[in-house]
Amino acid sequence: MTRPTPREPLLFRRLLKEKVWGGARLAGLLGVKAPATGPLGESWELSDYPGDETSVRGGAWNGISLRVLMQDYPEAILGRSRSTADGRFPLLVKFLDAGEDLSVQIHPPDGPNSPTGVGKTEAWYVVDATPGATVICGLKNGTQRETFQADAGDARVLTHLHEVPVRRGDCVFVPAGQTHAIRGGVVLCEIQQTSDVTFRMYDWGRVGLDAKPRELHLAQALAVVDYRLEPGVSVRAHFREESGLQDSVLAQCPYFRIEMLRADARGGLRPTDKLTRTWTVVKGSGRIEPVGADHFAPMAVRFGDVALIPGGIENVRLAGDGAEGIEILEGVAL
Number of domains, the chain: 2
Does the residue 240 lie in any domain?
Answer: no
Strand partners, 98: 186
> Domain end: 235, 258, 274, which one?
235
Confidence of residue 280 (pLDDT cuts 50, 70, 90): very high
Confidence of residue 296 (pLDDT cuts 50, 70, 90): confident
* pLDDT confidence of residue 1: 52
* pLDDT confidence of residue 160: 96
CATH number of the domain where residue 200 is located: 2.60.120.10
Range of the domain at 287: 245-333
* pLDDT confidence of residue 207: 77
Q: pLDDT tens-digit profile of 40-97?
A: 999 999 999 999 999 999 988 999 999 999 999 999 999 999 999 889 999 999 999 9
Contact 315, 293 (CB under 8 A): no
Report the pLDDT averaged over residues 246-263.
Answer: 96
Over 60: is that where the pLDDT of 37 sits?
yes
- 86/179 same-domain check: yes
pTM for this predicted structure = 0.94
Over 80: is that where the pLDDT of 126 sits?
yes
- 29/174 same-domain check: yes
- 26/164 same-domain check: yes
Does the residue 147 lie in any domain?
Answer: yes
* pLDDT confidence of residue 2: 59
